[in-house]
Amino acid sequence: MQANVVVVGSLNMDLVTRTQRLPQPGETLFGDALQTVHGGKGANQAVAAARLGARVAMLGRVGSDAYGAQLRAGLLDEQIECSGVCSVPGGVSGVALIVVDAHSQNTIVVVPGANAALTPGDIESCDAMLQGAEVIVCQLEVPYDTVAHTLKRGRALNKTVILNPAPVNGPLPSQWLEAIDYLIPNESEAQALSGVVVDSLASAQRAAFKLIEAGARNVIVTLGAKGALFVSGQKVVHFAAPSVEAVDATAAGDTFVGAFSAALAQGKNEDQAIRFAQIAAALSVTRPGAQPSIPGLADVSAFAQS
């Protein structure tokens, strides 16, 4: 199988508990339940792209533990090419500790584990995958120099390069922005990247324009229930979100990115790809968990026709 979407990123085992509200600093709460769910931003986006019609390859690292074997097997079950997903001898797999409250808001603490062992050399060894792809997707749960190498190589190969800048600690290097076709932050990430306080649609637009001025080609700010904002040098478009009953927002952003990638790889234009991704993300928040919440192509098609 020649993948048309290659995802370079993280694989984590998510340990998810539900509480009535999120804890305050120093506070202990009782959780209602505990689930062990396959996750990691990279793996989530790969699964979303695969379920929504793309041929996907994943490049990443897992530990030589039980979680690592389970995470890799889960991707294989989704028909994702995993020759670039290797175990780190003696290493432990990445873990995410997730708390979800009664209003479907969450807090997440990520322990990178084997994800921190993914190197630029690992990407070089899988260069044939990058050459064969149409879309290359990165996030920031693996080392920055590995992301930088992937972005630069994707630009050199003239591929469509997507960066979901999460988690982010501040502005990105200008050479990164120049290598990215689509920068896809949420509101808090757009604020961290731009320095603009994002608390409205107008401020999200100002933040996106600042990122365009810094070198980004196209910016899509995901706004949750307020939709998504697309900004380029030529146009600004706000896409309203589909109306759904939210249960758990854990993988909504990852579902959007994976769905958007799959849609572009299948020849959809930007507007079509954003609307497609919005439906997929909206459906994901109606279900609990990370990868278990990601819808399939039939689900998105049925919603679009309803």
Is residue 24 pLDDT above 80, yes or no?
yes
Is the backbone peptide bond immediately before 25 cis, with ω within 30 degrees of 0?
no
**Residue 194 pLDDT level (bands cut at 50, 70, 90):** very high
Domain residues of the chain, as ranges? Answer: 44-64+117-305
* pLDDT score for 9: 97
* pLDDT score for 287: 85
Mean residue pLDDT of the chain comes to 93
Is residue 136 pLDDT above 90, yes or no?
yes
> Is 26 exposed, middle or buried (CB count within 10 Å of its CB: 0-12, 13-18, 19+)?
exposed
Tell whether residue 222 is among the known ligand binding residues: yes
Domain 44-64+117-305 in CATH 3.40.1190.20? The answer is: yes
**Which candidate in 122, 254, 271, 299 is catalytic?**
254
Alpha-carbon distance 121 to 102, whole Å? 44
Is the backbone peptide bond immediately before 167 cis, with ω within 30 degrees of 0?
yes
254 noted as active-site residue: yes
Tell whether residue 40 is among the known ligand binding residues: yes
* pLDDT score for 230: 97
For residue 126, the SS3 value is coil
- pLDDT tens readout for residues 40-95: 999 999 999 999 999 999 999 999 999 999 999 999 999 999 999 999 999 999 99
* pLDDT score for 3: 87
* pLDDT score for 129: 95
Q: 113 vs 301, which has greater pLDDT? A: 113
Tell whether residue 252 is among the known ligand binding residues: no
**Residue 290 pLDDT level (bands cut at 50, 70, 90):** confident
Is residue 146 pLDDT above 90, yes or no?
yes
Q: What is the pTM of this model?
A: 0.92
Is residue 302 pLDDT above 90, yes or no?
no
Tell whether residue 44 is among the known ligand binding residues: yes
Q: What is the CA radius of gyration of the chain?
A: 18
